[in-house]
Amino acid sequence: MRPLRGITVSVGQWYADLLRITLPRNMRHFAECWVVTSPQDDAVQAVASQVPGVKLCVTDAMYQHGAMFNK
């Protein structure tokens, strides 16, 4: 069986609070999970960096070309 991998986009303090609860619980299903967030989002980065198996992708791509937020 191939290992399951996940990805989620999370930007903002409210999402960091949710990740703090859901990410550790969901990691029992994944071999690894990528969390995509913005460079300014220290809260999400802090939560993601504390959970084993989680990798961070820090980017401002969601704001390119003047977008307010583009997943």
∠ Cα 45 17 3 (to 5°): 65
pLDDT for the residue 26: 95
The pTM is what?
0.87
pLDDT for the residue 67: 83
pLDDT for the residue 71: 72
DSSP secondary structure, the chain, as one string:
-PPPEEEEE--SHHHHHHHHHHHHHHTTT-SEEEEEE-TT-HHHHHHHHTSTTEEEEE--GGGGGG-S---
The mean pLDDT value of the chain amounts to 92
pLDDT digits (tens, 9 = 90+) for 17-44: 999 999 999 999 999 999 999 999 999 9
